[in-house]
Amino acid sequence: MKNYYVKQYQKIDYSDWNSFIGQAKNATFLFHRDFMEYHQDRFEDYSLIVLDGEKWVAVLPANRVGNEIFSHQGLTYGGLIYNEKHKLASVIAIFKSVLSFLNDNSIEKLQVKLMPSIYHQKPAEELNYALFLVGAQLIRRDTLAVLDLSQENNLSKLRKRSIQRGISNDFTIREVDDFEDFWNEILIPNLAQKHQAKPVHSLEEIIKLKALFPKNIRQFNVYENGIIVAGTTIFGTSTVAHCQYISGKEDKNELGGLDYLFQQLISETFKNKCFFDFGISNENQGRKLNNGLSYWKESFGASTIVQDFYEVETSNYGLLDTVLL
């Protein structure tokens, strides 16, 4: 089995990293260094680069906590990123080199937050198989509510009636570049009241990210007589429109504004994407399901795919020595 050279990412690698991300078969804008580093003060970066001689063959966006590596706690998904030239056997060898490097550097465990397959430009589940081979343990599983936009997706009767109410109530839908109204009037108050939580991104951070990735990050608001009543923040990739935030004024939701917004996004704005991802409805590390939220998403015709989280002992790299026949 071929051995690859592994090194930690350094700032001097910025341009080469972003260039590699741009041609990988399983990368999105979340792996661009500008996105990864907007919250660099919260994480100790431990991203890895895998090379064959001087040629880049894979990267692992990651951070370190003690003697464990995570891929990456500040991102929605992660794992090994590589291009379509690398087949299953070479990805297994690449992963072995990564585990061996971590083990040599006193890292005992690696946690991998796998990227759901809908975000791949081409099938890219080689790492899933490699994790099985090294005895990785499934430690979390989240459920994503997803619409396949190449298929006909049937709305429930309840959702159809609500959308019609939204139309009848003369709500206005607008895409805006300004996040302040949604963050300050809707999102922050709702998260504080319902979950005693704050948005993952502060207002300042989402404004900065929008400036860096204007085509990928988009804000859609619903207005009643010029006053915001609901909205959603969409993170778009080449294949998926993902709802990063969804929120509305509770006393206005029954009037159908939020449902009207999503019907427009699904049927018009993002109809040329492959998938529409409403995101997870899980709590407690995937062990609880918010049934009401899940049902609302499913009433648009969405169904379930899962996102898996694995933990592997880096000392298990030797298990890959005898895999190839």
Query: Could you read off the pLDDT of 8-43 as tens digits, one per residue?
Result: 999 999 999 999 999 999 999 999 999 999 988 899
Nearest to 131 by CA among 75, 46, 85, 71: 71
Amino acid at 309: F
Confidence of residue 262 (pLDDT cuts 50, 70, 90): very high
Residue 309 sits at φ, ψ, to 5 deg, of: -120, 130
50 and 137 assigned to the same domain: yes
- Tell me if 288 is assigned to some domain: no
Phi-psi region of 238 (alpha: psi -120 to 50; beta: other; left: phi over 0): alpha
pLDDT tens digits, residue range 178-199?
999 999 999 999 999 988 899 9
Give the pLDDT of residue 75.
96
55 and 75 assigned to the same domain: yes
CA 300, CA 148: separation in Å to the nearest integer?
A: 11
- Tell me if 80 is assigned to some domain: yes
| DSSP helix/strand/coil, 198 | coil
> Is the predicted pLDDT of residue 315 greater than 80, yes or no?
yes
191 and 116 assigned to the same domain: no
157 and 221 assigned to the same domain: yes
pLDDT tens digits, residue range 77-95?
999 999 988 999 999 999 9
Domain coverage including residue 27: 5-142+308-320
- Tell me if 52 is assigned to some domain: yes
CATH number at residue 100: 3.40.630.30
Give the pLDDT of residue 41.
87
Burial 187-215 (b: 16+ CB within 10 A, else e): bbebbeeeeeeebebeeeebbebbeebee
